[in-house]
Amino acid sequence: MKTIHTHIALLAVAIAGLAHIQAQDPLPAWNDGPAKKAITAFVGKVTKEGSSDFVPPAGRIATFDNDGTLWAEQPMYFQMLFALHRVGVLAPQHPEWKDKEPFASLLKGDVKAALAGGEKAMLEIVMATHAGMTTAEFEQVVREWIATAEHPKFKKPLIECVYQPMVELLAYLRANGFKTFIVSGGGIEFMRPWTEKVYGIPPEQVIGSSIKTTYEMRDGKPVLVRLPEIDFIDDKTGKPAGINSHIGRRPIAAFGNSDGDQQMLEWTQAGGGARLMMLVHHDDAEREFAYGAESKIGTFSDALMAEAKKSSWEVISMKNDWKTIFAFEVSH
């Protein structure tokens, strides 16, 4: 079975193989259209010295949501797939789960019934599977799972279900002096073990939701223990707060795909000078998924679409703007 290193090597080869193309076209997986033109025009303005829109490298901050923006999020958030997997692993240690929801339904294979309890049920599952261990232990568990986890529809490693156009965009921005950050509702310590290898974004540039930790001495060594208590939710209004807390600079470019990203785009636009705000619209049922206002995962409401038009945010049509969807289409 392929390891995470093999998958990453394939991605690296794919990206390296595009280098000669990118010398002419920095975004070869994008169709020529308003979205691609908006990106290159923006980068041209903020990097041209002497221009009224010039931004010194220190101010070139770009933030990206993760789920649904950098990698797929349907039919279920990948972190929830991880949590469901962990329930099975931990079940022998918890015989009481056989008679306790939402775990009883999960152990019977009825995911729909288990998640019928909504956010309360999901929170119970996450706390039971993400807490009660040290941060180092949790990191190792995530690394081992992500190395072999596959997408239920595409039957490809999850770390290859990243969007090739966005991988190119990250590289293009960094080549032009930008520092790229993830600002996601997903768990910060769930993402940090693999984002540098997959996206080129180091752990210190990952902002996400978190649970509380406490310092302890175990066997004479200091450790941080993960507690079953919410510390911070990095979604909606939490995103600007997280950006301010972790980065200390307002972004000049922000990329999202759902209602949970609206405040991040608003916060970005509120600064002076040239700004770029973009939303990925999942409208390609044939190559990926088509969903929007009706979906509980990655909800792109009619109100958000109206706000995008009103505020002149660029909406990226996955169907029309992307020649290639996934990294695995290139690496294979």
Identify the pLDDT of residue 172. Answer: 98
CA 261, CA 281: separation in Å to the nearest integer? Answer: 13
- In 3D space, the residue among 304, 301, 42 whose CA is nearest the CA of residue 169 turns out to be 42
Percent of the chain at pLDDT > 90 equals 89
Beta sheet of 314-317, edge-to-edge order: 221-232, 206-218, 179-187, 61-64, 253-256, 276-281, 314-317
Domain check: are 295 and 237 in the same one?
yes
Q: Is the pLDDT of residue 162 over 70?
A: yes
170 and 289 both lie in a single domain:
yes
Q: Which of 15-19, 230-234, 238-242, 310-314 has the lowest mean pLDDT?
A: 15-19
Residues 223 and 276 in one domain: yes
Work out the angle between the directed axes of helices 164-175 and 34-47 (0-180°, nearest 10).
20
Summarize pLDDT for 217-263 with one digit per residue, the tens.
Answer: 999 999 999 999 999 999 999 999 999 999 999 999 999 999 999 99
Query: Which single residue is written with the structure tokens 């289409």?
Result: 329
- What is the C-alpha R_g of the chain? 20
Query: Do 324 and 189 share a structural domain?
Result: yes
Residues 318 and 225 placed together within one structural domain of the fold: yes
Given a cut of 70, is residue 7 above it in pLDDT? no
Do residues 208 and 185 make contact, with C-beta atoms less than 8 angstroms apart?
yes
Residue 47 pLDDT greater than 50, yes or no: yes
Give the pLDDT mean for 299-325. 98
- 97 and 69 in one domain? no
Q: What is the mean pLDDT of residues 12-37?
A: 75
Tens digits of per-residue pLDDT, 185-227?
A: 999 999 999 999 999 999 999 999 999 999 999 999 999 999 9
Please tell me whether residues 173 and 241 are part of one structural domain.
yes
Domain count, the chain: 2
How confident is residue 37, by pLDDT bands cut at 50, 70 and 90? very high
* Residue 107: inside a domain: yes
Mean pLDDT lowest for which of 5-14, 69-78, 309-318? 5-14
- 155 domain residue, yes or no: no
Residue 327 lies in a domain: yes
Domain that holds residue 226: 4-9+20-75+162-331
Assess contact for 252 and 55: CB atoms under 8 A.
yes
In angstroms, rounded to a whole number, what is the distance separating the alpha carbons of residues 289 and 287?
Answer: 7
- Burial of 122 (C-beta count, 10 Å sphere; 0-12/13-18/19+): middle
CA atoms within 13 Å, Cβ hemisphere of 331: 23
Whether 281 and 141 map to the same domain: the answer is no
CA–CA distance, 260 with 114 (Å, rounded to integer): 24
Phi, psi torsion values for 2, nearest 5 degrees? -65, 145
Q: What is the pTM of this model?
A: 0.91
Contact of 2 with 155, CB cutoff 8 Å: no
Question: Do 211 and 166 fall within a single domain?
Answer: yes
Give me the mean pLDDT over the 60-64 stretch. 99
Same-domain pairing of 181 and 302 = yes
Residue 18 has pLDDT above 70, yes or no: no
Same domain, 128 and 70: no
- In this predicted structure, what is the pLDDT of residue 119? 83
Residue given tokens 């280098």 in the structure block: 19
Q: How far is CA 90 from CA 27, 95, 132, 244, in A?
A: 44, 10, 12, 37
Here the CATH number for the domain that contains residue 227 is 3.40.50.1000
Final residue belonging to a domain, choices 119, 146, 173: 146
Averaged pLDDT score across all residues of the chain: 93
Length of the chain in terms of residues written? 332
Instruction: Classify residue 322 as exposed, middle or buried by CB count within 10 Å of its CB (0-12, 13-18, 19+).
Output: buried
130 lies in the same domain as 55: no
Given a cut of 90, is residue 20 above it in pLDDT? no
Note whether residue 288 is domain-resident. Answer: yes
Bridge-based pairing of strands 61-64 and 253-256 is parallel
pLDDT score of 332 more than 50: no
Angle CA 148–152–158, to nearest 5: 40
> Is the residue at 223 inside a domain?
yes
